[in-house]
Amino acid sequence: MQEITLPGLSGFRYLPGYFDRARQEDLVETIRKILTEAPLFQPVMPRTGKPFSVRMSNCGPLGWVSDINGYRYQATHPVTSRPWPPMPQMLTELWQTVAPDCPPVEACLINFYAPEAKMGLHQDRDEDTFDAPVVSVSLGDTATFRIGGTSRKGPTTSMRLASGDVVVLGGEARLAYHGIDRILKGSSTLLKNGGRINLTLRRVTKG
């Protein structure tokens, strides 16, 4: 398995082409089934109520949501009030491979990026523990990914994440600022109507 690291940012691992085309297609079909049970919803920023440019859903025991009251994890969909669908086996196996010494994964955030969507620099820090990594899977159109250090004002590095790529943020990189600057429209044929799906795996509770 090819692995690329970043000098000066320990714990960052980039695994290009981790999922081949056949497994990408299987994973997309699985996600589509999940979204029939837990439809994409439009999150908004706390306090301001400004909508995100991405739509999202979740699977696994817990799901991340954002609304006027803040960021949090909860066991049910904010619109349907139903429990999130189970974590797919392919994602459980990915977690076991890249984080073999960590407790089981508890949440998979599903973000759908339309061609104009982006995600500003942010840290993933709504979890009770930072001991386990954040694991990200890219499906569909290529994205320009930007990552810095643990200070928002520090220098950043940009790279392109293509369909099937996996990124692991562990160690020092667990709290690195990161975001998506741009979606390269038409760069993949995986999703029938284009766009990008990002799957973010997290351990939420201490265990």
pLDDT confidence tier of residue 207, bands split at 50, 70 and 90:
confident
Name the token pair of 19: 């999922």
d(CA 117, CA 172): 28
DSSP string, 136-171: EEEEES-EEEEE--SSTTS--EEEEE-TT-EEEE-G
pLDDT tens digits, residue range 96-155?
Answer: 999 999 999 999 999 999 999 999 999 999 999 999 999 999 999 999 999 999 999 889
pTM: 0.97
Domain 4-202 sits in which CATH superfamily? Alpha-ketoglutarate-dependent dioxygenase AlkB-like (2.60.120.590)
Query: Is residue 93 helix, strand or coil?
Result: helix
Average pLDDT, the chain: 97
pLDDT tens digits, residue range 145-181?
Answer: 999 999 998 899 999 999 999 999 999 999 999 999 9
How, if at all, do strands 9-15 and 166-169 pair? antiparallel
d(CA 207, CA 195): 36
Q: Quote the DSSP letter at residue 116.
A: T
- Is the CB of residue 85 less than 8 Å from the CB of residue 94? no
Predicted pLDDT at 205: 98
